[in-house]
Structure 1
Amino acid sequence: MDKRVVLITGGSSGIGKSIGVFLTARGLKVYGTTRSLEKYRDFGAFELLQLDVRQPESIHAAVTEIILREGRLDVLVNNAGMGITGPVEETPHEEILNVFDTNFHGPVHMMKAVLPQMRKQGSGTIINITSLAGYMGLPFRGYYSATKGALGLITEALRMETKDFGIQITNVAPGDFATNIAAGRYHAPVIKGSAYEEIYQKSLDLMDAHVDSGGDPMMVAHKVFAIIQNKKPRVHYPVGAFMQKFSLFLKKILPGKMYEKLLLNHYKL
Protein backbone atom coordinates (compact mmCIF):
# COMPACT_ATOMS: atom_id res chain seq x y z
CA MET A 1 0.00 0.00 0.00
CA ASP A 2 1.20 3.52 -0.86
CA LYS A 3 1.69 5.30 2.49
CA ARG A 4 2.27 8.77 1.10
CA VAL A 5 0.32 11.58 2.74
CA VAL A 6 -1.61 13.92 0.47
CA LEU A 7 -3.23 17.29 1.20
CA ILE A 8 -5.85 18.53 -1.28
CA THR A 9 -7.28 22.01 -0.82
CA GLY A 10 -10.89 22.40 -1.84
CA GLY A 11 -11.40 18.65 -1.48
CA SER A 12 -15.09 18.52 -0.60
CA SER A 13 -16.48 18.70 -4.14
CA GLY A 14 -15.69 18.89 -7.85
CA ILE A 15 -12.20 18.18 -9.11
CA GLY A 16 -10.72 18.13 -5.60
CA LYS A 17 -13.12 15.44 -4.40
CA SER A 18 -12.52 13.36 -7.54
CA ILE A 19 -8.76 13.51 -6.95
CA GLY A 20 -9.18 12.57 -3.29
CA VAL A 21 -11.46 9.61 -4.04
CA PHE A 22 -9.10 8.31 -6.73
CA LEU A 23 -5.96 8.60 -4.59
CA THR A 24 -7.65 7.07 -1.54
CA ALA A 25 -8.70 4.07 -3.63
CA ARG A 26 -5.03 3.58 -4.51
CA GLY A 27 -3.93 3.47 -0.90
CA LEU A 28 -2.65 7.00 -0.33
CA LYS A 29 -3.57 8.76 2.91
CA VAL A 30 -5.66 11.74 1.81
CA TYR A 31 -6.64 14.86 3.73
CA GLY A 32 -8.99 17.24 1.97
CA THR A 33 -9.95 20.71 3.10
CA THR A 34 -13.08 22.80 3.17
CA ARG A 35 -13.91 26.26 4.45
CA SER A 36 -16.93 24.90 6.35
CA LEU A 37 -16.80 21.49 8.01
CA GLU A 38 -20.38 22.01 9.21
CA LYS A 39 -21.65 21.50 5.66
CA TYR A 40 -19.86 18.16 5.32
CA ARG A 41 -20.48 16.32 8.59
CA ASP A 42 -21.56 13.22 6.64
CA PHE A 43 -18.63 13.33 4.22
CA GLY A 44 -16.96 9.91 4.23
CA ALA A 45 -14.81 9.69 1.14
CA PHE A 46 -11.68 10.75 3.07
CA GLU A 47 -10.89 13.01 6.01
CA LEU A 48 -11.68 16.71 5.72
CA LEU A 49 -9.97 19.49 7.67
CA GLN A 50 -11.08 23.07 8.11
CA LEU A 51 -8.97 25.43 6.00
CA ASP A 52 -9.49 28.73 4.24
CA VAL A 53 -6.66 29.48 1.81
CA ARG A 54 -7.29 33.21 2.30
CA GLN A 55 -6.25 32.92 5.96
CA PRO A 56 -2.58 32.06 6.64
CA GLU A 57 -3.33 31.09 10.25
CA SER A 58 -5.89 28.56 9.00
CA ILE A 59 -3.31 27.12 6.61
CA HIS A 60 -0.69 26.84 9.34
CA ALA A 61 -3.10 25.05 11.70
CA ALA A 62 -4.13 22.44 9.12
CA VAL A 63 -0.60 21.72 7.87
CA THR A 64 0.71 21.47 11.44
CA GLU A 65 -2.07 19.04 12.39
CA ILE A 66 -1.29 16.72 9.47
CA ILE A 67 2.44 16.68 10.25
CA LEU A 68 1.73 15.99 13.94
CA ARG A 69 -0.54 13.08 13.00
CA GLU A 70 1.49 11.56 10.18
CA GLY A 71 5.04 12.77 10.73
CA ARG A 72 5.29 13.77 7.08
CA LEU A 73 3.53 15.42 4.15
CA ASP A 74 4.35 14.08 0.71
CA VAL A 75 1.96 15.73 -1.74
CA LEU A 76 0.16 19.07 -1.87
CA VAL A 77 -2.56 19.52 -4.47
CA ASN A 78 -3.41 23.21 -4.64
CA ASN A 79 -6.95 22.83 -5.95
CA ALA A 80 -9.08 25.33 -4.01
CA GLY A 81 -10.24 28.13 -6.25
CA MET A 82 -13.16 30.23 -7.39
CA GLY A 83 -14.53 31.40 -10.69
CA ILE A 84 -15.30 34.99 -11.53
CA THR A 85 -16.92 36.61 -14.54
CA GLY A 86 -17.53 40.17 -15.56
CA PRO A 87 -16.33 42.98 -17.79
CA VAL A 88 -12.88 44.13 -16.73
CA GLU A 89 -14.23 47.68 -16.47
CA GLU A 90 -17.26 46.82 -14.32
CA THR A 91 -16.08 44.08 -11.94
CA PRO A 92 -16.08 45.40 -8.33
CA HIS A 93 -12.54 45.83 -7.06
CA GLU A 94 -13.23 43.97 -3.80
CA GLU A 95 -14.16 40.92 -5.88
CA ILE A 96 -10.94 41.22 -7.86
CA LEU A 97 -8.97 41.19 -4.60
CA ASN A 98 -10.99 38.21 -3.35
CA VAL A 99 -10.34 36.07 -6.43
CA PHE A 100 -6.61 36.83 -6.29
CA ASP A 101 -6.57 35.94 -2.59
CA THR A 102 -8.26 32.62 -3.36
CA ASN A 103 -6.67 31.58 -6.65
CA PHE A 104 -3.16 33.01 -6.33
CA HIS A 105 -2.18 34.24 -2.86
CA GLY A 106 -3.83 31.22 -1.21
CA PRO A 107 -1.85 28.63 -3.18
CA VAL A 108 1.35 30.62 -2.58
CA HIS A 109 0.69 30.57 1.19
CA MET A 110 0.02 26.82 0.96
CA MET A 111 3.34 26.21 -0.77
CA LYS A 112 5.19 28.31 1.80
CA ALA A 113 3.55 26.26 4.57
CA VAL A 114 4.55 22.82 3.21
CA LEU A 115 7.99 23.54 1.74
CA PRO A 116 9.90 23.42 5.08
CA GLN A 117 8.56 19.93 5.83
CA MET A 118 9.22 18.67 2.30
CA ARG A 119 12.73 20.14 2.40
CA LYS A 120 13.32 18.38 5.74
CA GLN A 121 12.16 15.09 4.19
CA GLY A 122 14.23 15.66 1.08
CA SER A 123 11.18 14.84 -1.00
CA GLY A 124 7.70 16.03 -1.91
CA THR A 125 5.41 16.90 -4.77
CA ILE A 126 3.38 20.07 -5.26
CA ILE A 127 0.71 20.09 -7.95
CA ASN A 128 -0.96 23.41 -8.69
CA ILE A 129 -4.35 23.15 -10.37
CA THR A 130 -4.36 26.07 -12.78
CA SER A 131 -6.55 26.24 -15.90
CA LEU A 132 -6.35 26.31 -19.67
CA ALA A 133 -7.88 29.77 -19.20
CA GLY A 134 -4.59 30.80 -17.62
CA TYR A 135 -2.83 30.55 -20.99
CA MET A 136 -4.99 33.25 -22.61
CA GLY A 137 -7.05 36.28 -21.66
CA LEU A 138 -10.65 35.17 -22.08
CA PRO A 139 -13.41 37.75 -22.61
CA PHE A 140 -15.45 38.40 -19.45
CA ARG A 141 -13.19 35.97 -17.59
CA GLY A 142 -10.13 38.20 -17.63
CA TYR A 143 -9.56 38.22 -13.88
CA TYR A 144 -9.90 34.44 -13.67
CA SER A 145 -7.40 34.06 -16.52
CA ALA A 146 -5.05 36.46 -14.73
CA THR A 147 -5.09 34.52 -11.44
CA LYS A 148 -4.49 31.17 -13.09
CA GLY A 149 -1.84 32.57 -15.40
CA ALA A 150 -0.02 34.05 -12.41
CA LEU A 151 -0.11 30.72 -10.55
CA GLY A 152 1.30 28.94 -13.60
CA LEU A 153 4.20 31.39 -13.79
CA ILE A 154 4.99 31.20 -10.08
CA THR A 155 5.08 27.41 -10.49
CA GLU A 156 7.75 27.78 -13.17
CA ALA A 157 9.84 30.04 -10.94
CA LEU A 158 9.52 27.89 -7.82
CA ARG A 159 10.51 24.72 -9.69
CA MET A 160 13.87 26.29 -10.46
CA GLU A 161 14.36 27.75 -6.99
CA THR A 162 13.74 24.39 -5.28
CA LYS A 163 15.44 22.07 -7.78
CA ASP A 164 18.12 21.00 -5.26
CA PHE A 165 15.68 20.00 -2.50
CA GLY A 166 14.22 16.82 -3.97
CA ILE A 167 10.84 18.54 -4.39
CA GLN A 168 8.85 18.21 -7.60
CA ILE A 169 6.55 21.10 -8.55
CA THR A 170 4.23 21.19 -11.53
CA ASN A 171 0.85 22.42 -12.64
CA VAL A 172 -2.19 20.73 -14.10
CA ALA A 173 -4.36 22.94 -16.29
CA PRO A 174 -7.91 21.58 -16.72
CA GLY A 175 -10.25 22.72 -19.45
CA ASP A 176 -14.03 22.57 -19.01
CA PHE A 177 -15.18 19.84 -16.64
CA ALA A 178 -18.61 19.02 -15.26
CA THR A 179 -18.28 20.40 -11.72
CA ASN A 180 -20.13 22.84 -9.49
CA ILE A 181 -17.75 25.73 -10.25
CA ALA A 182 -20.47 27.66 -12.10
CA ALA A 183 -22.69 27.60 -9.01
CA GLY A 184 -19.93 29.04 -6.84
CA ARG A 185 -18.63 31.52 -9.40
CA TYR A 186 -18.90 35.23 -8.71
CA HIS A 187 -20.80 36.96 -11.50
CA ALA A 188 -20.43 40.70 -11.77
CA PRO A 189 -24.00 41.95 -12.22
CA VAL A 190 -25.35 42.60 -15.69
CA ILE A 191 -25.97 46.33 -15.50
CA LYS A 192 -29.03 47.69 -17.25
CA GLY A 193 -28.04 50.25 -19.85
CA SER A 194 -24.37 49.27 -19.67
CA ALA A 195 -22.36 49.19 -22.88
CA TYR A 196 -21.68 45.50 -22.02
CA GLU A 197 -25.24 44.50 -21.05
CA GLU A 198 -26.21 42.40 -24.05
CA ILE A 199 -22.82 40.92 -24.92
CA TYR A 200 -21.97 40.03 -21.31
CA GLN A 201 -25.31 38.27 -20.75
CA LYS A 202 -24.79 36.25 -23.92
CA SER A 203 -21.31 35.29 -22.75
CA LEU A 204 -22.62 34.19 -19.33
CA ASP A 205 -25.14 31.85 -20.95
CA LEU A 206 -22.42 30.36 -23.16
CA MET A 207 -19.99 29.84 -20.25
CA ASP A 208 -22.57 27.92 -18.22
CA ALA A 209 -23.33 25.72 -21.22
CA HIS A 210 -19.62 24.88 -21.60
CA VAL A 211 -19.33 23.81 -17.95
CA ASP A 212 -22.54 21.75 -18.09
CA SER A 213 -21.22 19.84 -21.10
CA GLY A 214 -17.73 19.43 -19.65
CA GLY A 215 -15.79 16.20 -19.23
CA ASP A 216 -15.50 13.86 -16.27
CA PRO A 217 -13.26 15.38 -13.54
CA MET A 218 -11.82 11.90 -12.96
CA MET A 219 -9.63 12.66 -15.99
CA VAL A 220 -7.83 15.19 -13.81
CA ALA A 221 -7.57 12.68 -10.95
CA HIS A 222 -5.88 10.15 -13.26
CA LYS A 223 -3.38 12.80 -14.36
CA VAL A 224 -2.60 13.83 -10.78
CA PHE A 225 -1.95 10.21 -9.79
CA ALA A 226 0.36 9.74 -12.79
CA ILE A 227 2.30 12.86 -11.81
CA ILE A 228 2.72 11.63 -8.22
CA GLN A 229 4.21 8.41 -9.60
CA ASN A 230 6.58 10.35 -11.87
CA LYS A 231 9.98 11.18 -10.38
CA LYS A 232 10.58 13.95 -12.92
CA PRO A 233 7.24 15.52 -13.92
CA ARG A 234 6.97 18.09 -16.67
CA VAL A 235 6.29 21.75 -15.96
CA HIS A 236 2.79 21.86 -17.52
CA TYR A 237 0.05 19.28 -17.96
CA PRO A 238 -3.02 20.51 -19.88
CA VAL A 239 -6.03 18.22 -19.36
CA GLY A 240 -9.25 18.39 -21.35
CA ALA A 241 -10.91 17.78 -24.67
CA PHE A 242 -8.64 17.60 -27.72
CA MET A 243 -9.70 20.96 -29.17
CA GLN A 244 -9.22 22.70 -25.82
CA LYS A 245 -5.65 21.44 -25.59
CA PHE A 246 -5.07 22.07 -29.30
CA SER A 247 -5.96 25.73 -28.71
CA LEU A 248 -2.71 26.07 -26.73
CA PHE A 249 -0.72 24.85 -29.72
CA LEU A 250 -2.57 27.27 -31.98
CA LYS A 251 -1.72 30.16 -29.65
CA LYS A 252 1.97 29.33 -30.01
CA ILE A 253 1.98 29.27 -33.81
CA LEU A 254 -0.66 31.78 -34.91
CA PRO A 255 -0.26 35.56 -35.11
CA GLY A 256 -1.89 37.27 -32.15
CA LYS A 257 -4.74 38.86 -34.09
CA MET A 258 -5.57 35.62 -35.87
CA TYR A 259 -5.77 33.75 -32.56
CA GLU A 260 -7.88 36.54 -31.12
CA LYS A 261 -10.30 36.13 -34.02
CA LEU A 262 -10.62 32.41 -33.25
CA LEU A 263 -11.52 33.24 -29.64
CA LEU A 264 -14.04 35.85 -30.74
CA ASN A 265 -15.68 33.31 -33.04
CA HIS A 266 -15.69 30.66 -30.31
CA TYR A 267 -17.38 32.98 -27.83
CA LYS A 268 -19.68 34.38 -30.52
CA LEU A 269 -18.53 37.95 -29.95
Structure 2
Amino acid sequence: MSKVVLITGGSSGIGKSIGEFLHHKGFVVYGTSRNPERILHSIFPLIALDVRNADSIHLAVAEVIAKSGRLDVVINNAGVGITGPLEEIPMNEIRNNFETNFFGPIEVMKAVLPQMRAQKSGLIINITSIAGYMGLPYRSIYSASKGALELITEALRMEVKSIGIQITNIAPGDFATNIAAGRYHAPVLKNSDYELAYGNTLKAMDEHVDSGSNPNEMAEAVYSIIQNPNPKIHYKVGAFMQKFSIVLKRILPDKVYEKMLMNHYKL
Protein backbone atom coordinates (compact mmCIF):
# COMPACT_ATOMS: atom_id res chain seq x y z
CA MET A 1 0.00 0.00 0.00
CA SER A 2 1.38 3.41 -0.99
CA LYS A 3 2.07 5.70 1.94
CA VAL A 4 -0.03 8.86 2.22
CA VAL A 5 2.00 12.05 2.64
CA LEU A 6 0.84 15.55 3.57
CA ILE A 7 3.26 18.45 2.94
CA THR A 8 2.46 21.94 4.19
CA GLY A 9 3.69 24.65 1.89
CA GLY A 10 3.83 22.27 -1.05
CA SER A 11 3.30 24.70 -3.94
CA SER A 12 6.86 26.00 -4.34
CA GLY A 13 10.46 25.70 -3.23
CA ILE A 14 11.56 22.83 -1.01
CA GLY A 15 7.98 21.61 -0.41
CA LYS A 16 7.27 21.33 -4.12
CA SER A 17 10.56 19.49 -4.75
CA ILE A 18 9.81 17.01 -1.97
CA GLY A 19 6.26 16.45 -3.23
CA GLU A 20 7.33 15.83 -6.81
CA PHE A 21 10.11 13.46 -5.75
CA LEU A 22 7.82 11.41 -3.53
CA HIS A 23 5.06 11.42 -6.17
CA HIS A 24 7.48 9.88 -8.69
CA LYS A 25 8.46 7.29 -6.07
CA GLY A 26 4.84 6.14 -5.87
CA PHE A 27 3.64 7.88 -2.72
CA VAL A 28 0.16 9.39 -2.48
CA VAL A 29 1.08 13.05 -2.00
CA TYR A 30 -1.06 15.97 -0.90
CA GLY A 31 0.45 19.42 -0.74
CA THR A 32 -1.03 22.55 0.76
CA SER A 33 -1.15 26.20 -0.18
CA ARG A 34 -3.01 29.21 1.16
CA ASN A 35 -4.34 29.76 -2.37
CA PRO A 36 -4.20 26.46 -4.28
CA GLU A 37 -6.43 27.83 -7.05
CA ARG A 38 -3.56 30.09 -8.13
CA ILE A 39 -1.22 27.14 -8.73
CA LEU A 40 -1.72 26.00 -12.30
CA HIS A 41 0.82 23.21 -12.71
CA SER A 42 1.13 20.85 -9.77
CA ILE A 43 1.57 17.12 -10.40
CA PHE A 44 0.04 16.29 -6.99
CA PRO A 45 -3.18 17.69 -5.48
CA LEU A 46 -3.02 20.88 -3.44
CA ILE A 47 -5.39 21.53 -0.54
CA ALA A 48 -6.18 24.92 0.97
CA LEU A 49 -4.40 25.38 4.29
CA ASP A 50 -3.09 28.38 6.20
CA VAL A 51 -0.90 27.28 9.11
CA ARG A 52 -1.91 30.45 10.99
CA ASN A 53 -5.53 29.29 11.05
CA ALA A 54 -6.45 26.27 13.20
CA ASP A 55 -9.78 25.64 11.43
CA SER A 56 -7.99 25.60 8.08
CA ILE A 57 -5.50 23.03 9.38
CA HIS A 58 -8.16 20.68 10.77
CA LEU A 59 -10.26 20.89 7.60
CA ALA A 60 -7.25 20.05 5.42
CA VAL A 61 -6.24 17.08 7.57
CA ALA A 62 -9.83 15.80 7.58
CA GLU A 63 -9.95 16.09 3.78
CA VAL A 64 -6.81 13.99 3.34
CA ILE A 65 -8.10 11.30 5.71
CA ALA A 66 -11.51 11.28 4.01
CA LYS A 67 -9.92 10.81 0.59
CA SER A 68 -7.21 8.28 1.50
CA GLY A 69 -8.37 6.66 4.73
CA ARG A 70 -5.04 7.17 6.49
CA LEU A 71 -2.12 9.53 6.95
CA ASP A 72 1.36 8.07 7.16
CA VAL A 73 3.79 10.98 6.79
CA VAL A 74 3.36 14.67 7.61
CA ILE A 75 6.03 17.16 6.55
CA ASN A 76 5.84 20.51 8.33
CA ASN A 77 7.49 22.58 5.62
CA ALA A 78 5.47 25.82 5.48
CA GLY A 79 7.56 28.68 6.79
CA VAL A 80 8.53 32.27 6.21
CA GLY A 81 11.75 34.23 6.54
CA ILE A 82 12.25 37.46 8.42
CA THR A 83 15.23 39.79 8.64
CA GLY A 84 16.09 43.00 10.41
CA PRO A 85 17.61 44.50 13.54
CA LEU A 86 15.51 43.20 16.43
CA GLU A 87 14.94 46.75 17.66
CA GLU A 88 13.42 47.78 14.32
CA ILE A 89 11.21 44.76 13.49
CA PRO A 90 7.54 45.55 14.22
CA MET A 91 6.03 43.27 16.88
CA ASN A 92 3.18 42.26 14.56
CA GLU A 93 5.78 40.87 12.10
CA ILE A 94 7.51 38.98 14.91
CA ARG A 95 4.20 37.45 15.99
CA ASN A 96 3.33 36.55 12.39
CA ASN A 97 6.65 34.77 11.98
CA PHE A 98 6.10 32.66 15.09
CA GLU A 99 2.52 31.93 14.02
CA THR A 100 3.85 30.53 10.74
CA ASN A 101 7.14 28.91 11.75
CA PHE A 102 6.31 27.66 15.25
CA PHE A 103 2.67 27.74 16.36
CA GLY A 104 1.45 26.58 12.94
CA PRO A 105 3.54 23.38 12.93
CA ILE A 106 2.41 22.66 16.50
CA GLU A 107 -1.23 22.96 15.43
CA VAL A 108 -0.58 20.65 12.46
CA MET A 109 0.99 18.04 14.76
CA LYS A 110 -1.91 18.26 17.20
CA ALA A 111 -4.31 17.79 14.27
CA VAL A 112 -2.64 14.67 12.84
CA LEU A 113 -1.66 12.85 16.03
CA PRO A 114 -5.15 11.37 16.70
CA GLN A 115 -5.15 9.66 13.28
CA MET A 116 -1.60 8.38 13.73
CA ARG A 117 -2.46 7.14 17.22
CA ALA A 118 -5.42 5.20 15.79
CA GLN A 119 -3.10 3.68 13.16
CA LYS A 120 -0.39 3.04 15.79
CA SER A 121 2.05 4.41 13.25
CA GLY A 122 3.10 7.63 11.58
CA LEU A 123 6.04 9.89 10.85
CA ILE A 124 6.23 13.66 11.31
CA ILE A 125 9.15 15.52 9.73
CA ASN A 126 9.66 19.11 10.85
CA ILE A 127 11.71 21.22 8.48
CA THR A 128 13.66 23.69 10.56
CA SER A 129 16.91 25.45 9.61
CA ILE A 130 20.61 25.41 10.33
CA ALA A 131 19.94 29.01 11.43
CA GLY A 132 17.92 27.51 14.30
CA TYR A 133 21.10 26.21 15.93
CA MET A 134 22.58 29.67 16.48
CA GLY A 135 21.54 33.28 16.96
CA LEU A 136 22.41 35.00 13.70
CA PRO A 137 22.67 38.79 13.47
CA TYR A 138 19.70 40.38 11.73
CA ARG A 139 18.00 36.96 11.63
CA SER A 140 17.22 36.78 15.34
CA ILE A 141 13.50 36.02 14.98
CA TYR A 142 13.99 33.43 12.25
CA SER A 143 16.71 31.69 14.30
CA ALA A 144 14.47 31.75 17.39
CA SER A 145 11.36 30.37 15.66
CA LYS A 146 13.26 27.53 13.98
CA GLY A 147 15.27 26.76 17.10
CA ALA A 148 12.06 26.54 19.11
CA LEU A 149 10.64 24.01 16.63
CA GLU A 150 13.80 21.91 16.98
CA LEU A 151 13.29 21.69 20.76
CA ILE A 152 9.56 20.99 20.50
CA THR A 153 10.40 18.07 18.21
CA GLU A 154 12.91 16.65 20.68
CA ALA A 155 10.33 16.71 23.48
CA LEU A 156 7.31 15.47 21.51
CA ARG A 157 9.34 12.65 20.00
CA MET A 158 9.78 11.15 23.48
CA GLU A 159 6.12 11.66 24.36
CA VAL A 160 4.73 9.72 21.38
CA LYS A 161 7.38 7.05 20.85
CA SER A 162 5.46 4.47 22.90
CA ILE A 163 2.43 4.71 20.59
CA GLY A 164 4.44 3.99 17.44
CA ILE A 165 4.82 7.54 16.11
CA GLN A 166 8.19 8.83 14.92
CA ILE A 167 9.16 12.52 14.80
CA THR A 168 12.33 14.06 13.42
CA ASN A 169 13.83 17.36 12.28
CA ILE A 170 15.60 18.28 9.06
CA ALA A 171 17.59 21.51 9.17
CA PRO A 172 18.41 22.82 5.69
CA GLY A 173 21.07 25.39 4.93
CA ASP A 174 20.76 27.78 2.00
CA PHE A 175 18.87 26.39 -0.99
CA ALA A 176 18.12 27.98 -4.33
CA THR A 177 14.41 28.69 -3.81
CA ASN A 178 12.10 31.69 -3.82
CA ILE A 179 12.15 32.03 -0.01
CA ALA A 180 13.80 35.46 -0.22
CA ALA A 181 10.84 36.77 -2.21
CA GLY A 182 8.41 35.92 0.58
CA ARG A 183 10.65 37.00 3.45
CA TYR A 184 9.76 40.03 5.54
CA HIS A 185 12.59 42.54 5.37
CA ALA A 186 12.63 45.29 7.93
CA PRO A 187 13.52 48.40 5.88
CA VAL A 188 17.09 49.69 5.97
CA LEU A 189 16.54 52.99 7.74
CA LYS A 190 18.60 56.04 6.85
CA ASN A 191 20.78 57.29 9.71
CA SER A 192 20.02 54.18 11.77
CA ASP A 193 22.89 52.74 13.79
CA TYR A 194 22.24 49.51 11.88
CA GLU A 195 22.03 51.03 8.38
CA LEU A 196 25.40 49.97 6.97
CA ALA A 197 25.81 46.61 8.72
CA TYR A 198 22.23 45.48 8.15
CA GLY A 199 22.26 46.62 4.51
CA ASN A 200 25.43 44.64 3.82
CA THR A 201 24.13 41.58 5.67
CA LEU A 202 20.88 41.67 3.68
CA LYS A 203 22.78 41.64 0.38
CA ALA A 204 24.94 38.74 1.55
CA MET A 205 21.92 36.69 2.65
CA ASP A 206 20.20 37.09 -0.71
CA GLU A 207 23.40 36.06 -2.52
CA HIS A 208 23.66 32.94 -0.37
CA VAL A 209 20.09 31.93 -1.29
CA ASP A 210 20.64 32.62 -4.99
CA SER A 211 23.77 30.44 -4.99
CA GLY A 212 22.29 27.80 -2.69
CA SER A 213 22.08 24.06 -3.18
CA ASN A 214 19.53 22.24 -5.33
CA PRO A 215 16.33 21.61 -3.30
CA ASN A 216 16.29 18.06 -4.68
CA GLU A 217 18.91 17.30 -2.01
CA MET A 218 16.20 17.93 0.58
CA ALA A 219 13.77 15.70 -1.32
CA GLU A 220 16.29 12.85 -1.35
CA ALA A 221 16.94 13.33 2.38
CA VAL A 222 13.22 13.18 3.16
CA TYR A 223 12.80 10.02 1.07
CA SER A 224 15.72 8.39 2.91
CA ILE A 225 14.18 9.27 6.29
CA ILE A 226 10.79 7.84 5.30
CA GLN A 227 12.50 4.58 4.33
CA ASN A 228 14.29 4.40 7.68
CA PRO A 229 12.28 2.51 10.34
CA ASN A 230 14.19 4.28 13.12
CA PRO A 231 15.07 7.83 12.03
CA LYS A 232 17.52 10.01 13.95
CA ILE A 233 16.39 13.02 15.97
CA HIS A 234 18.22 15.60 13.86
CA TYR A 235 19.33 15.80 10.24
CA LYS A 236 21.24 18.62 8.56
CA VAL A 237 21.28 19.14 4.80
CA GLY A 238 23.37 21.77 3.05
CA ALA A 239 26.87 22.95 2.27
CA PHE A 240 29.69 21.48 4.37
CA MET A 241 30.62 24.75 6.09
CA GLN A 242 27.01 25.46 7.03
CA LYS A 243 26.72 22.06 8.71
CA PHE A 244 30.20 22.37 10.23
CA SER A 245 29.21 25.69 11.82
CA ILE A 246 26.96 23.69 14.20
CA VAL A 247 29.91 21.52 15.21
CA LEU A 248 32.04 24.61 15.80
CA LYS A 249 29.37 26.08 18.07
CA ARG A 250 29.56 22.98 20.24
CA ILE A 251 33.33 22.96 20.62
CA LEU A 252 34.40 26.61 20.57
CA PRO A 253 34.16 29.00 23.53
CA ASP A 254 31.10 31.25 23.18
CA LYS A 255 33.02 34.45 22.58
CA VAL A 256 35.30 32.82 20.01
CA TYR A 257 32.27 31.56 18.10
CA GLU A 258 30.62 34.97 18.35
CA LYS A 259 33.75 36.59 16.94
CA MET A 260 33.78 34.10 14.08
CA LEU A 261 30.17 34.97 13.20
CA MET A 262 30.85 38.70 13.41
CA ASN A 263 33.83 38.33 11.10
CA HIS A 264 31.72 36.33 8.67
CA TYR A 265 29.04 39.05 8.61
CA LYS A 266 31.68 41.81 8.63
CA LEU A 267 30.31 43.34 11.83
TM-score category, normalised to shorter length: over 0.9
- SS at 2:86 equivalent: coil
Deviation at 1:44, TM superposition (A): 2.8
Note the residue ranges of structure 2 that are not aligned, 5 or more in a row.
Answer: none
Q: Describe the superposition over 1:102-159 as per-residue Cα deviations: whole angstroms up to 9, x where unpaired.
A: 0000000000000000000000000000000000000000000000000000000000
Query: Contact 2:11 / 2:42 at 8 angstroms: preserved in 1?
Result: no
Q: Describe the superposition over 1:9-65 as per-residue Cα deviations: whole angstroms up to 9, x where unpaired.
A: 00000000000000001000000000112311x223211000000000000000001
Deviation at 1:89, TM superposition (A): 0.7
Quote the RMSD (CA, aligned, Å): 0.7
Q: Distance in 2 between matches of 1:214 and 1:185?
A: 16
Q: Distance in 1 between matches of 2:2 and 2:209?
A: 35
Q: Which residue of 2 aligns with 1:56?
A: 54
TM-score (normalizing by structure 2): 0.99
Identity %: 67
1:165-204 aligned within 5 A? 165-204=163-202
Tell me, yes or no, if structure 1 residue 28 matches structure 2 residue 27.
Answer: yes
Please tell me the residue identity of whatever aligns with 1:227. Answer: I
Q: Which residue of 2 aligns with 1:3?
A: 2
Q: Distance in 1 between matches of 2:143 and 2:43?
A: 31
Show structure 1 runs of 4+ deviating over 6 A.
Answer: none
Q: Which residue of 2 aligns with 1:227?
A: 225
The equivalent position to 1:216 in structure 2, one of 214, 217, 221, is 214
Q: Which residue of 2 aligns with 1:135?
A: 133
Q: Distance in 2 between matches of 1:60 and 1:43?
A: 25
The equivalent position to 2:203 in structure 1, one of 181, 191, 205, is 205
Q: Distance in 2 between matches of 1:65 and 1:38?
A: 16
- SS at 2:166 equivalent: strand
Deviation at 1:191, TM superposition (A): 1.2
Q: Which residue of 2 aligns with 1:18?
A: 17
Please tell me the residue identity of whatever aligns with 1:14. Answer: G
Note the residue ranges of structure 1 that are not aligned, 5 or more in a row.
Answer: none
Q: Distance in 1 between matches of 2:194 and 2:264?
A: 18
Q: Distance in 1 between matches of 2:42 and 2:95?
A: 33
The equivalent position to 1:256 in structure 2, one of 251, 254, 257, is 254
Q: Distance in 2 between matches of 1:150 and 1:86?
A: 19
Deviation at 1:4, TM superposition (A): 0.4
Of 178-187 and 259-268, deviating more is 259-268
Please tell me the residue identity of whatever aligns with 1:87. Answer: P
Q: Distance in 2 between matches of 1:5 and 1:266?
A: 42
Q: Distance in 2 between matches of 1:261 and 1:239?
A: 25
Deviation at 1:98, TM superposition (A): 0.1
Q: Distance in 1 between matches of 2:42 and 2:110?
A: 29
Q: Which residue of 2 aligns with 1:161?
A: 159
Q: Distance in 2 between matches of 1:201 and 1:241?
A: 24
Query: Contact 2:34 / 2:50 at 8 angstroms: preserved in 1?
Result: yes
Deviation at 1:175, TM superposition (A): 0.2
Q: Distance in 2 between matches of 1:147 and 1:59?
A: 19
Query: Contact 2:197 / 2:266 at 8 angstroms: preserved in 1?
Result: no
Q: How many residues align?
A: 267
- SS at 2:161 equivalent: coil
